[in-house]
Amino acid sequence: MFTNILSAIPKMRCSQNPTNILELLRWFANTVIDIDYDNTIQLTFDPNSRHYGCHYYRNREGLLESLPRGYRYYTIGNIHQAGSEPLPPYVVNSRRGNIAWNSARILIRVNEGRRIDQVFITRHYDASEYHGSSYDPEQTFRITTYFLRQLRKPYHIILKNMQLWCLLIVIMMLFFYRIFVTYFDQIFYKNMI
């Protein structure tokens, strides 16, 4: 049922542009969760607070597996849901231009201590579509902790790699400059004698 998110993102119908989904996931990975050294994901806000369009998800249609004792499902990302903490403008605005603007959602399975053990991205059906479910099972994908970790650092890694490449280029230029100067000096002085 659940496939690799990297291959699935371009096919998701909740966005004409996969960056809309990625912006929601990137915001989630960088803002509202902590991931420790043991890959434990901790939610940093109370999911009952309705922040960020978050609310309890009953899973009546059986989209996800049955819950173990002490766990609940929540959905995050409803732009229109009132709450004291809205999604940031860069997430909302990145989704505004497409037809299914408010359809991308994150589903999480959380225990009473706010520990998350499963994360999914899904497509919320439009209110006019009745499918017997709130979410599209064909457009529901499991997100790994590894993928969330990667979303936490892309710009930093790119910048760091660029800095390392620039440093390497400078070192190589200095090295070749030294060789060139030494060679040129030898030829120049040789011709003078």
On the question of pLDDT at 151 being above 70, the answer is yes
Q: What is the pLDDT of residue 76?
A: 94
On the question of pLDDT at 171 being above 50, the answer is yes
The answer to whether the CB of 30 falls within 8 A of the CB of 154 is: no
Q: What is the 3-state secondary structure (H, E, C) of 42-96?
A: EECCCHHHCHHHCEEECCCCCCCCCCCCCEEEEEECCCCCCCCCCCCHHHHHHHH
Burial class (CB in 10 A: 0-12, 13-18, 19+), 48: exposed
Q: What is the dihedral of CA 150, 70, 139, 25, to 10 degrees?
A: -30
Share of the chain above pLDDT 90, in %: 35
What does pTM read for this prediction? Answer: 0.70
Highest mean pLDDT among 85-89, 132-136, 149-153, 173-177: 85-89
